[in-house]
Amino acid sequence: MKSRTNAILWCFFLGAFGAHKFYLGQTGWGILYLLFCWTGIPSLATLIEFIMLLLMSEEEFNRRFNGGAGQATASVKDSTSALSDLKRLYDEGVITAEEYEEKRKKLLKNI
């Protein structure tokens, strides 16, 4: 999993050579930065990206560069497990049909 702090450091120290792009998995951009590093254009782009990375929230960074699926997948798994537990309680007669439907709807809203 990529770290926002590491991306900021790569961008600051070796950004003109595209090191942060390689780190973030954007190999094509990294190669372009390397090819044009002598022009100064990647340095200007890196300055802008450095500021953007500094201002970006951790959640936004994870969504963009780490797939962002970690929290959503865990939530779906938790809700699926809770639904199966709820169904088991209903089948065993521990909760009524009304309670089952009410709690099932709440769980499905969370997914």
The domain limits of the chain are 4-65, 69-110
Q: Is the pLDDT of residue 30 over 90?
A: yes
Give yes or no for a contact between 109 and 75, defined as CB atoms under 8 angstroms apart. Answer: no
Q: What is the pTM for the complete model shown?
A: 0.62
Instruction: Give me the pLDDT at residue 73, please.
Output: 56
3-state secondary structure of 44: helix
pLDDT value of residue 72: 56
Question: Cβ(19)–Cβ(31) under 8 Å?
Answer: no
- The pLDDT of residue 105 is 87
pLDDT confidence band for 47 (50 / 70 / 90): very high
C-alpha to C-alpha distances, 1 to 5, 23, 50, 99, 103, nearest whole angstrom? 12, 11, 19, 41, 35
- Model pLDDT for residues 65-75, shown as the tens digit of each residue: 998 755 555 56
Q: Look at 109 and 83; give whichever has higher pLDDT.
A: 83
Whether 10 and 19 have beta carbons less than 8 Å apart is answered as yes
Residue 3's CB: how many other CB atoms inside 10 A?
14
Q: Report how far apart the first and last C-alpha atoms of the chain are (Å, whole number).
A: 24
Here the tokens at position 46 are 């890196």
Mean pLDDT value across residues 29-54: 96
The residue behind tokens 């201002």 is 55
